[in-house]
Amino acid sequence: MAAPLLLFLFLQAGAHQAAVAAFNAHHYNEAAQKFHEALAGEAAGTADYQESTLLLGESLYFQKKYTEAIPWFEKAAAGGPKALVAAYMLGNACLESHADDGARQAYAKVFDVRPDSAAAHLLAAEMMLRGQMAQGADKEARRALEIDARVPQAHFIMGEAALLQADPPRAIAEFRREIAINPSFDLTYYRLGDAYSRANAWEDAISSLEHAIWMNPNQTGPYILLGRAYLNRNQLSDAEGALRHALQMDPQDAAAHHLLGQTLMRAGKRDEAQKELAR
């Protein structure tokens, strides 16, 4: 009896290794088939089983078979050293499948918050925002505010969602509400300046971007937008100064070179402007 058992275990180990090899080679359809075969002989709770369920879920996910991936991520998230990785992937698969409640519960597990809390809704909103899911992000952020009217960053996410939907006035209103609750969050001033820029409200944009820089002088984005705002107001010296400062921080920023080239061209510095535009 021992010999057939050893042979079976050897074949199962070979099936698992073949599935992992196909996965590592990015042959996800083949990997999914081989993981199905390997799992037929793997006991729940073993290291091979935990790896197979996670990588089978990922093989399906990378083929955009999100609904099929969900049950395998659920199994992988039940335990093992990569349970949190599986829960994170489960959240992503649920988002892609429009299973928003499942996504929120999965992210709540990853970040160790109650699934019915404002924090959980806020996490789901943030993940939706990263996936360009503006309506879902807005809905989850609103739900977070229903639970806690002063929860930080909910209005910020709603402002970002409004910008994704090309609605600068609504974005401005939400960013201003965020500042009223959370005035030390420097990114809000930056994004408010962006929203004002899109609304062609250059004076307000300059004020917001200056606040962003005073809060955090170590990011290039506000300097670039500030240069753009000054350029639109024909304050060429101020525009040049802001853009040169951005390029000191990041010499490879193409947008800064482009705007600086435009600024120098308008200022009559044609040769230098052409060098900047070429860069």
pLDDT of amino acid 14: 76
Taking residues 162-169, report their average pLDDT: 98
Residue 252, domain extent: 185-279
pLDDT digits (tens, 9 = 90+) for 21-79: 999 999 999 999 999 999 998 999 899 999 999 999 999 999 999 999 999 999 999 98
Taking residues 180-189, report their average pLDDT: 96
Task: Say whether pLDDT at 3 is over 50.
Answer: no
Taking residues 129-151, report their average pLDDT: 97
Number of domains making up the chain: 1
CATH value at residue 262:
1.25.40.10
Q: Is residue 45 part of a domain?
A: no
Q: Is residue 98 part of a domain?
A: no
Cα–Cα distance between 126 and 153 in angstroms, integer? 9
Residue partners of 187: CB distance under 8 A and separation at least 6: 156, 212
- Write the CA distances from 175 to 107, 160, 227, 257, integer angstroms: 25, 8, 21, 29
- Summary mean pLDDT of the chain: 94
- Write the CA distances from 64 to 13, 69, 70, 77, 130, integer angstroms: 28, 9, 11, 20, 17
Q: Is residue 14 part of a domain?
A: no
Q: Is residue 15 part of a domain?
A: no
Residue 231 main-chain phi, psi, to 5 deg: -60, -40
45 burial via Cβ count (<10 Å: 0-12, 13-18, 19+): exposed
pLDDT digits (tens, 9 = 90+) for 258-278: 999 999 999 999 999 999 999
Return the CA Rg of the chain. Answer: 26
pLDDT of amino acid 5: 41
Please, are residues 231 and 266 in contact by the beta-carbon 8 Å criterion? yes
SS3 244: helix
Cα–Cα distance between 174 and 198 in angstroms, integer? 15
- pTM of the complete model: 0.87
Give the closest residue to 129 by CA, choosing from 103, 153, 157. Answer: 157
Task: Say whether pLDDT at 102 is over 80.
Answer: yes
Instruction: Give the percent of the chain with pLDDT over 70.
Output: 95
Task: Say whether pLDDT at 248 is over 60.
Answer: yes
Q: Is residue 189 part of a domain?
A: yes
pLDDT of amino acid 32: 96
Task: Say whether pLDDT at 96 is over 50.
Answer: yes
pLDDT of amino acid 10: 44
- Write the CA distances from 253 to 142, 161, 193, 221, 258, integer angstroms: 36, 26, 19, 10, 9
Please, are residues 39 and 49 in contact by the beta-carbon 8 Å criterion? yes
Q: Is residue 203 part of a domain?
A: yes
235 burial via Cβ count (<10 Å: 0-12, 13-18, 19+): middle
Q: Is residue 156 part of a domain?
A: no
Taking residues 105-130, report their average pLDDT: 97
Task: Say whether pLDDT at 9 is over 50.
Answer: no
